[in-house]
């Protein structure tokens, strides 16, 4: 596991937007960021689940979060622009952006992958990260030091048969991260990195491995050390790198 022990309120006064915040790793990260002092913007498609995370943060005494409902599969460029406009109006800037939203389809040979599944995987797992980052760049530039974390996967760092459009999207994420790094590192205080959480007990993994016992894998909340490190000021000098939680 990634070894990092942050100070209690090391994210105090930071504004962090988390996609996929209603469940899995996004939910765990949002709760963890809030527990360490951040004001978290919870973005996802399931309003009821987002509200449950909101209530959990408030019940624990965290800074009041915000909820933004957006289905990435249905989102267009105007949708992402509206997110950025709303954040600008409510918060003025962003200190961090975690791309944790994702979707998965059963693992299949490419010849059996439908075009609809292909397009869905790329739109949610790759295009959304590009589009939201693009529109949030002005907000990130307003922060003293901003961090963008792209969620990767082992399937995005190795060639693995049958992982199809999910693997293509995650390989794209690694290239997207590197491109943003190359374009931003000398002109802004925005750092970008990718993070592979590794296999863990999430609904996303159950789609790929329906017969796997989830008790054999770490829970999302057990993998938060790397998420915390990359979002805080201790990682100011980490830029354009590939990290893993396990």
| CA atoms in the 13 A half-sphere facing the CB of 167 | 17
DSSP bridge partners of 194: 150, 242
Using one digit for the tens of pLDDT, what is the confidence trace for 5-63? Answer: 999 999 999 999 999 999 999 999 999 999 999 999 999 999 999 999 999 999 999 99
Active site (catalytic) residues:
166
Walk along the chain (246 residues) and give the pLDDT tens digit of each residue. Answer: 789 999 999 999 999 999 999 999 999 999 999 999 999 999 999 999 999 999 999 999 999 999 999 999 999 999 999 999 999 999 999 999 999 999 988 889 999 999 999 999 999 999 999 999 999 999 999 999 999 999 999 999 998 899 999 999 999 999 999 999 999 999 999 999 999 999 887 887 888 778 888 888 989 999 999 999 999 999 999 999 999 999
Strands 96-99 vs 66-69: parallel, antiparallel or unpaired:
unpaired
Pick the CATH number of 15-244 from 3.40.50.720, 3.40.50.300, 3.40.50.880, 3.40.50.970: 3.40.50.720
Confidence (pLDDT) at 106: 87
Contact 37, 15 (CB under 8 A): no
Q: Give the C-alpha separation, 123 to 72, whole Å.
A: 7
**DSSP 3-state of 148:** strand
Q: What is the pLDDT of residue 136?
A: 98
Kindly provide the b/e burial profile for residues 96-116, where b requires at least 16 CB atoms within 10 angstroms of the residue's own CB.
bbbbbbbbbbebeeeeebeee
pLDDT at 7: 92
Report the largest interatomic distance among the alpha carbons of the chain, rounded to a whole angstrom. Answer: 51
**pTM to 2 decimal places:** 0.95
């Amino acid at each position: 596991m990634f070894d990092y022990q942050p100070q209690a309120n090391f994210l105090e006064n930071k504004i962090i937007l988390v996609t996929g915040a209603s469940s899995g790793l996004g939910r765990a990260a949002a709760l963890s960021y809030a527990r360490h002092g951040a004001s978290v913007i919870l973005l996802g498609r399931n309003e009821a689940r987002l509200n449950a995370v909101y209530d959990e943060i408030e019940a624990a005494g965290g800074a009041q979060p915000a909820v933004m409902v957006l289905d990435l599969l249905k989102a267009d460029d105007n949708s992402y622009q509206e997110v950025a406009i709303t954040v600008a109006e409510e918060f003025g800037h962003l200190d961090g952006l975690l791309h944790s939203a994702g979707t998965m389809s059963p693992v299949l040979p490419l010849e059996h992958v439908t075009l609809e599944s292909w397009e869905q995987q790329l739109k949610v797992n790759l295009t959304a990260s590009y589009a939201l980052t693009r529109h949030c760049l002005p907000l990130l530039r307003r922060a003293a030091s901003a961090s963008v974390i792209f969620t990767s996967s082992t399937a995005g760092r190795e060639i693995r048969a049958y992982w199809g459009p999910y693997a293509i999207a995650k390989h794209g994420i690694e290239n997207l991260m590197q491109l943003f790094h190359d374009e931003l590192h000398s002109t802004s205080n925005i750092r970008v990195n990718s993070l592979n959480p590794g296999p863990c007990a999430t609904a996303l993994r159950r789609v790929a491995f329906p017969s796997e016992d989830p008790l054999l894998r770490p829970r999302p909340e057990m993998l938060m050390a790397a998420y915390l490190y990359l979002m805080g000021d201790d990682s100011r000098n980490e830029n354009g790198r590939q990290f893993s939680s396990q």
